[in-house]
Chain A
Amino acid sequence: MSKIICSAAIRGAHKIVDMAEAKYEEAVKKYGAEQEVHFPNTAYFLPIIYSMLGAKVERLGDMKDIFAECRKLLPDYVSDNVWLPYLAPALDAGMATFFAEEMFEAIRYLDAPDFYTKTEDPLENNIWLGAADDVIFRKRGVEFVDGTAPGFAAIMGAPPTKELASKIALELQEKNLYIFMHDQTNGVHMANQLKESGVQIGWGTRLVPFAPNYTSAVFAIGFACRVAMAFGGIKPGDFKGNLIYNKDRTFAFVMAFGPVSDEWYANAAGAINWGFPTISDYDIPQVLPTGICTYEHVVSNVPHEEIVQKAIEVRGLKVSVSKIDIPMSFGPAFEGERIRKDDLFMECGGGRTMGVEVLVSKDMSEVEDGKVTIEGPDIKDIQQGQNLPLGILVEVAGREMQSDFEPILERQFHHLINYIQGIMHMGQRNIMWVRIGKAAVEKGLSFTHLGKVLHGKLHQEFGAIVDKIQVKIYTDKAKVEEVMELAKRVYAERDERLGSMTDETEEIFYSCTLCQSFAPSHVCVITPERIGMCGAYNWLDGKASYQINPTGPNQPIQKGECLDPSLGIFQGINEFVGQASRGAVTELACYSLMNSPMTACGCFEAIAAMLPQCNGIMVVNRDYLGMTPSGMKFTTLAGMAGGGAQTPGFMGVSKHFMTSPKLFLAEGGLKRIVWLPKMMKEEIKDKLIERCKAIGMPELYDMIATEENGTTEEEILAFLKKVGHPALTMEAAV
């Protein structure tokens, strides 16, 4: 009975647009039409309106045209008899609903600045986070792009009990989905249910309490719109491109609990435009024919024990979840979970005790696959608060295994251990730190479970390389010291090998098109001295990945003849990129910002931009929210650099690349760097100073300005003159 749904959606849309417009008129009276309005820290204005209509709502007065558009979209009510086709009008009404709700929420940010926390995690007195800003969005967006998060569930209302709420949330987490929570059912909010059950909520655990009202559905949909613009390169105003992109690539759906109001129907109708269906536990009509969504549009009356499975089936999502036989839940959704002081049972490493993890390859005969041993006390043998030293030694063997792959496998420990619910892992190597929560201990955690996870997952992800894996865990101090000695030797050898590898010593570079699930035209080129701009994939990763999956996203590129050593232009790379970008990019300079720079999908750690007056380059990292001397914040710069297009003067870079000898080689290298945010400069301080020394300018580090020296080009120029920065006397870069 689509008629009931469409009729209700159209009624709901009228109510919502009326309400929002009344709010708008009130706001104009109160603040004036010139008053600025925005969602916090985003370059995408009100993202749904921006992506669908290409219109930038920056001031209250800008809303007038959008409300006019809403009125144009709002159809007549559906008549009882001889009705006119209502599906399309209902979809349009849903769109008008979202436009109106976005403006309504924008006015809320103005009216009640503290209504939302604007943080990644709930605060003591307020659990409602509000719209994701661009920092959160880009950080999380990476997970969408690399596949660790296939989509999201936009939840309206709350399941009948808090036990069910926890169960459904957990199931969704186990499917790696984000869970966006909105509104309430009978006065109960799902986020509160989870909180009361002691479930950690916030972006870190993918359980995101957006808002206690239905109008916040636009935060979820706006997130999807931004994914398409930032990673898919869809232009604002290209509504069809955006909607189809999301239908094909963002596996999101609406999950509604309890009675469905006209307003909820209006929001559900809106979501269908994006190909996001609605799954309800309530007795409402269904819309089963396909077409706008990939499969059904509205499926109802779904029992709670089946609702998650049903939802992903209706959305057409395949989630390959490997079952790891441990008593705790396991998956990417638990990676960001924290173990706070009150929840802590014990911890290892991190300065409390000695902690080390290392992976080495052995001869086939020396490894017994699946063996997990522990020497020293296990969890069950200790009291709460009793910290232990920890050594994790993983020994692998395989016909295809190379020592070069050891660090790659070892680097997985961090996220794999983090995937265990109730355990937090930080750092790596001999600065690793593991915190174990009470909840995990209650479920029967043993250190051997870490071994099981590493054995199972490494087999799964690197099966093409390793045939046998054994894990030795030590909590006995003397034994841990032994592992530490071994590890230090291994690290030193490794670093030496990696340090001696340069772009000149290797004939093959690797491509990375992992992001093409979300950024269809972008191609990364990874060289030994230039790590992927996401910071996550280096040359060895590319090599290993190719070994594992010869037709996968990392392909070897014979770099071929070097056409320009300073710009880093290679015949073979040009040919490869030309083909892989379908002719969009015909020349790529690996070491230049100003000539044929590398394209980006949008999930870069930092962005480099030319400052013409200063004759130098600034770099800003994703977490820096403030203004930069380029006159643009990170979010705006990201728009210039992302989306698979070459924009000379703007380029995505990883933090690691900042200390590479190949950094901006064409522009004169490190000497061109004139500005960095303080937080980034601090983060890479040691290596940066080392590089300054290496180029014979140890004083350069202090000449690089930060926001403390200014955030305008004029201020920076003055500072550079004062300190005598070398960029000023270099050849003009523009």
Chain B
Amino acid sequence: MAITRNGCEGCTEITCVSTKQVLSNDVAKNVKTAYDRVQSRGMSACLFGSGGTCCRNCNMGPCQIIDGVDDMLGVCGANADTVAARNFARVVAAGSAAHTDHAREMVRGFIDTAKGEGPHCIKDVEKLKALAAVFGIATEGREVNEIALELGEKALAEFGKQDSEPLAMTKRAPEKRQAIWKKLGIAPRGVDREVVEMMHRTHMGVDQEYENIMLQASRCALSDGWGSSMLSTELTDIMFGTPVPRRAIVDLGVLKADQVNITVHGHEPLLAEALCIAAQEPDMIELAKKQGAKGINLAGVCCTGNEILMRRGIPVAAGFVQQEIALATGAVEAMVVDVQCIMPSVTEVAKNFHTDIITTNYRAKMSGAVHIQFDEHAALESAKQILSHAIKNFKKRRDFFIPQEKKLDVVVGFSHETINYMLGGRFRASYRPLNDNIINGRIRGVGAIVGCDNFKLSDDAHEVIARELIKNNVLVLATGCAATSLGRAGLMTPEAAKYCGDTLAEICETVGMPPVLHMGSCVDNSRILIAATQMVKQGGLGDDISDLPAIGTAPLWMSEKAVAIGQYFVASGAQVVFQSLPTFGAKKFNKYLLEGLMGQVGAHWNVASEPLEIAKLMIAAIEAKRDALGINKKKERVLFDMAMRRDLTAGVPGVGCHGPGGA
């Protein structure tokens, strides 16, 4: 008997067809999901918590603060602004810490790889050398692994660095931006140190001035964006290959009826990559066949999904909100998880089926799950052990329901390197065409849609925003679960150019690209920093990120990581829009985030509650930047005569003037 469960009171309507189909199928009738819990909890969120004025930082409270009411200061005397700022800063610290611990694992894996241990090797030598140059590592005449080892060790040292020099990769930022950081004293030093200092300064009785607290919040976030997240992205690319354009599919229909379905959920691609390699080994395929399956079908969930989607074209079954739904199909033999964004509920959902939740990281254990520790020094063996466990479940599969037709084509793999290449080919690779067409107005600007999904706004919020942006000729970059959601909406195919305004459609048509570019997982937001910097360096759009007609949003943010990302964007000069911030209970501090930061870092937070409102705010912000750049004025075509050619400066750095065959 089909059941009807379409959203609930307290959460918005479910629009995602695959979710609806699974939840209304008999197979899932006993499954309780977040949608149900939103309803069963039956209470709205705590106002003090939502507004940021609940202080639990010492044992005199907890104190609920009411802004402007003298009787409702904290016991210690803390006012709303201090409390909200400390809470906000701690969210930033927690988010940064998550990226940092993830990144540390990747760097350690990278060092192992450089030493020749484990199943991986250095895949992108060019990128290795480019990054080595950033770290001041000599590459001429050296073995690849030797360079990689030195890079890995220097990268690892960034985490525990104790001197006050800025992190190595901050010097990739536009010079003007670096100067701003220096002037404000927020250039990040050691990655771990910034998190620790943030935690210290928000301890009872330390930093109480919200502006000063936010300086450290910025520094802590920057140590994530230009430090750990960027390290993770770059070293993962070097090790597993920099993403290039490839076709793939997303949504629950990627699960296969006749194969062992193993979903890989979490964030660190070390495990996922090992699983991908192991799943192609003959003994594993043989084992699957012995169990009566036609093969092994790996499918991604959440950001691990994005990592292997970008680099290997492995399909993505679900984003964050669909993790329970994927299990509710009854078709998953095992969900292999590592860290971050794994709902505690998945073990409960799995109990309805033959499915095992396999935890693999000592940091992240769950009751009701099977723990098989992933040993990166014996990565392949670990992976095989995990796979074997899952494969053996296949025979136990009972009734299941896969929404077969629900799989959408996507074209993914738009790393900074891909964008650079796709605009000019191997010989003329550059961001020039992007900048040119922004300047001439065919592309109005760039909108980044990033972050999680949650149950507060309709599950098509990303899609609504993206459609509005591309209709208004704003190119969209996407990462994380937002990207999965936009893929599911069919906006990541080149054919989606038909939903664009005429001029963006013309650009998509010229390049052959989708109007929404998948740039990777949530740590890969660092790619957007690099892309933005590249746009600045290419010229014609100002001399800092804050001049660019670009803006980001994480409309359905859920994780603390999203706030860390938002803060490193703002501190890098990029505007961001969220649907809510836990700061509205503190008027001055809230105003500071939404306006006051502008004066210091050239960007600020924005809040807009509805998807269309978010999109319109983004478009208005982009047009304002265009006006400021003076590129909204119509320009006459410049024709060049000889004198103008003589006056050209030498132009491209590093180019010529040494004679044919010359040294």
Chain A residues in the interface with B (C-beta under 8 A): 1-3, 6, 43-44, 52, 73, 78, 81-92, 95, 147, 150, 228-230, 232-236, 238-245, 248-249, 251, 273, 287-292, 295, 297, 312-313, 316-320, 513-514, 516-521, 553, 582, 584, 639-645, 647
B134 at the interface (CB under 8 A from A): no
Contacts of A87 in B (CB 8 A): 422-423, 425, 510-512
Contacts of B655 in A (CB 8 A): 234, 238, 240-241, 244-245
Return the chain B residue nearest A520 by Cβ: B650
Return the chain B residue nearest A73 by Cβ: B426
Give chain B nearest CB distance to A284 CB in angstroms. 15
B45 at the interface (CB under 8 A from A): no
Residues of B639-663 whose CB lies within 8 A of A? 639-646, 648-652, 654-662
Q: Interface digits, B143-169 against A, CB 8 Å rule (1 contact, 0 not)? A: 000000000000000000000000000
Inter-subunit contact A316/B660 (CB<8 Å): no
Return the chain A residue nearest B494 by Cβ: A83
Inter-subunit contact A233/B656 (CB<8 Å): yes
Residues of B418-439 whose CB lies within 8 A of A? 418, 421-429, 432-434, 436-437
Inter-subunit contact B512/A84 (CB<8 Å): yes
Q: Interface digits, B625-641 against A, CB 8 Å rule (1 contact, 0 not)? A: 00000000000011111
Residue in contact with B656 in the complex, picked from A92, A245, A295, A640, CB distance below 8 Å: A245
Ordered nearest first, which 9 A-B pairs have the shortest CB separation?
A291-B433, A643-B659, A91-B425, A241-B655, A147-B642, A318-B639, A234-B656, A86-B512, A233-B657
Contacts of A230 in B (CB 8 A): 660
Interface size on B (CB < 8 Å)? 56
Can you list 21 A-B contacts (CB < 8 A)?
A2-B512, A83-B411, A87-B422, A88-B426, A91-B428, A232-B656, A235-B658, A235-B661, A239-B427, A240-B652, A248-B648, A248-B651, A249-B648, A251-B640, A291-B423, A313-B637, A313-B639, A521-B657, A582-B650, A640-B659, A645-B662
Give chain B nearest CB distance to A145 CB in angstroms. 10
Residue in contact with A95 in the complex, picked from B426, B652, B661, CB distance below 8 Å: B426
Give chain B nearest CB distance to A574 CB in angstroms. 20
Extra pairs beyond A82-B411, A232-B656, A553-B646 (19, CB < 8 Å): A85-B418, A88-B429, A234-B655, A235-B659, A235-B662, A239-B427, A240-B428, A242-B656, A251-B640, A273-B428, A287-B510, A289-B436, A290-B436, A292-B423, A318-B640, A318-B644, A520-B649, A520-B657, A639-B660
Inter-subunit contact A290/B433 (CB<8 Å): yes
State whether A316 and B639 are in contact (beta carbons under 8 Å apart), knowing that A517-B646, A639-B661 are contacts in the complex: yes
B389 at the interface (CB under 8 A from A): no
CA distance A517 to B656 in the complex (A): 14
Q: Interface digits, B71-93 against A, CB 8 Å rule (1 contact, 0 not)? A: 00000000000000000000000
CA distance A129 to B409 in the complex (A): 53
B456 at the interface (CB under 8 A from A): no
Inter-subunit contact B512/A82 (CB<8 Å): no
CA distance A7 to B82 in the complex (A): 61
Inter-subunit contact A289/B494 (CB<8 Å): no
Give chain A nearest CB distance to B555 CB in angstroms. 27
Main secondary structure, interface of A, reads loop
Return the chain A residue nearest B517 by Cβ: A85
State whether A289 and B659 are in contact (beta carbons under 8 Å apart), knowing that A243-B428, A273-B427 are contacts in the complex: no
Contacts of B648 in A (CB 8 A): 248-249, 517, 520
* Interface-centre pick from B495, B637, B655 (highest chain A CB count, 10 A): B655
CA distance A566 to B642 in the complex (A): 37
Inter-subunit contact B639/A236 (CB<8 Å): no
B63 at the interface (CB under 8 A from A): no
B39 at the interface (CB under 8 A from A): no
Contacts of B424 in A (CB 8 A): 88, 91, 291-292
CA distance A297 to B432 in the complex (A): 14
B513 at the interface (CB under 8 A from A): yes
Give chain B nearest CB distance to A144 CB in angstroms. 10
Residue in contact with A2 in the complex, picked from B409, B432, B510, B637, CB distance below 8 Å: B510
Residue in contact with B442 in the complex, picked from A150, A238, A289, A516, CB distance below 8 Å: A289
Inter-subunit contact A238/B656 (CB<8 Å): yes
Chain B residues in the interface with A (C-beta under 8 A): 245-247, 409, 411, 418, 421-429, 432-434, 436-437, 440, 442, 493-495, 506-507, 509-513, 637-646, 648-652, 654-662
Contacts of B511 in A (CB 8 A): 2, 85-88
CA distance A44 to B661 in the complex (A): 10
Inter-subunit contact B651/A95 (CB<8 Å): no
Contacts of B433 in A (CB 8 A): 289-292
CA distance A647 to B659 in the complex (A): 10
Inter-subunit contact A2/B661 (CB<8 Å): no
Return the chain B residue nearest A52 by Cβ: B427
CA distance A316 to B648 in the complex (A): 15
State whether A516 and B646 are in contact (beta carbons under 8 Å apart), knowing that A6-B512, A87-B510 are contacts in the complex: yes
Inter-subunit contact A292/B650 (CB<8 Å): no
Inter-subunit contact A88/B422 (CB<8 Å): yes
CA distance A83 to B423 in the complex (A): 16
Inter-subunit contact A81/B657 (CB<8 Å): no
Contacts of A318 in B (CB 8 A): 639-641, 644
Inter-subunit contact A95/B425 (CB<8 Å): yes
Contacts of A2 in B (CB 8 A): 509-512
Contacts of B246 in A (CB 8 A): 84
Contacts of A73 in B (CB 8 A): 426
Inter-subunit contact B657/A644 (CB<8 Å): yes
Give chain A nearest CB distance to B276 CB in angstroms. 21
Residue in contact with B659 in the complex, picked from A6, A233, A517, CB distance below 8 Å: A233
CA distance A291 to B424 in the complex (A): 8
Give chain A nearest CB distance to B400 CB in angstroms. 28
Inter-subunit contact A235/B639 (CB<8 Å): no
Inter-subunit contact B513/A85 (CB<8 Å): yes
Contacts of A287 in B (CB 8 A): 510
Return the chain A residue nearest B431 by Cβ: A291
Contacts of B426 in A (CB 8 A): 73, 88, 91-92, 95
* Interface-centre pick from A84, A147, A234, A297 (highest chain B CB count, 10 A): A84
Inter-subunit contact B659/A642 (CB<8 Å): yes
Inter-subunit contact A640/B425 (CB<8 Å): no
CA distance A520 to B651 in the complex (A): 10
Return the chain B residue nearest A75 by Cβ: B425
CA distance A52 to B425 in the complex (A): 13
Contacts of B641 in A (CB 8 A): 150, 318-320
Return the chain B residue nearest A275 by Cβ: B428
Return the chain B residue nearest A269 by Cβ: B425
CA distance A521 to B651 in the complex (A): 12
Residue in contact with B650 in the complex, picked from A43, A91, A320, A521, CB distance below 8 Å: A521
State whether A44 and B437 are in contact (beta carbons under 8 Å apart), knowing that A320-B641, A517-B642 are contacts in the complex: no
Give chain A nearest CB distance to B74 CB in angstroms. 56
Inter-subunit contact B427/A85 (CB<8 Å): no
Contacts of A295 in B (CB 8 A): 637
Contacts of B440 in A (CB 8 A): 290
CA distance A318 to B638 in the complex (A): 9
Residue in contact with A291 in the complex, picked from B436, B493, B512, B646, CB distance below 8 Å: B436
Contacts of A516 in B (CB 8 A): 646
CA distance A89 to B395 in the complex (A): 46
State whether A290 and B437 are in contact (beta carbons under 8 Å apart), knowing that A82-B409, A241-B656 are contacts in the complex: yes
CA distance A248 to B652 in the complex (A): 11
State whether A289 and B513 are in contact (beta carbons under 8 Å apart), knowing that A245-B656, A643-B659 are contacts in the complex: no
CA distance A43 to B660 in the complex (A): 9
Contacts of A95 in B (CB 8 A): 425-427
Inter-subunit contact A92/B427 (CB<8 Å): yes
Give chain A nearest CB distance to B425 CB in angstroms. 3
CA distance A90 to B424 in the complex (A): 10
Inter-subunit contact A513/B660 (CB<8 Å): no
* Interface-centre pick from B495, B510, B512 (highest chain A CB count, 10 A): B510
State whether A289 and B642 are in contact (beta carbons under 8 Å apart), knowing that A2-B512, A640-B659, A643-B657 are contacts in the complex: no
Return the chain A residue nearest B414 by Cβ: A85
Inter-subunit contact B427/A232 (CB<8 Å): no
Contacts of A84 in B (CB 8 A): 245-247, 411, 512
Contacts of A92 in B (CB 8 A): 425-427
